[in-house]
Amino acid sequence: MHADVIPKRWRRYNIANINVSEWIDDFKKRIEQLLKLSGSKDFGRTGMWFGGLLFPEAFMTATRQSVAQENKWSLEELELKFEVDPSDQ
């Protein structure tokens, strides 16, 4: 850490080549989002930082399966809708 390099054992998820202080800030934001999502009743429907999830592809798969099952739809009937910060409009 004195060399401002992220220790190898901390690299549990993919991230850009950044220094330790940037990594700690990024990790803190990820933990804050997980705490917010775990206490939420809508499971992120009101918005989330998708890139801040540790395994976004697993979250996407589970979300698709849950929505399809809840509505008795096949997975092929689902359509992905993506909005970039809709509150910014």
What's residue 88's pLDDT?
57
What's residue 18's pLDDT?
83
pTM exceeds cut of 0.85: no
Q: What six digits make up the tokens of 3?
A: 């060399």
Output 13 or 4, whichever has higher pLDDT: 4
Please state the rounded mean pLDDT for residues 29-57. 80
Q: What six digits make up the tokens of 36?
A: 């917010």
Q: What is the DSSP letter of 75?
A: G
Q: What six digits make up the tokens of 65?
A: 């399966």
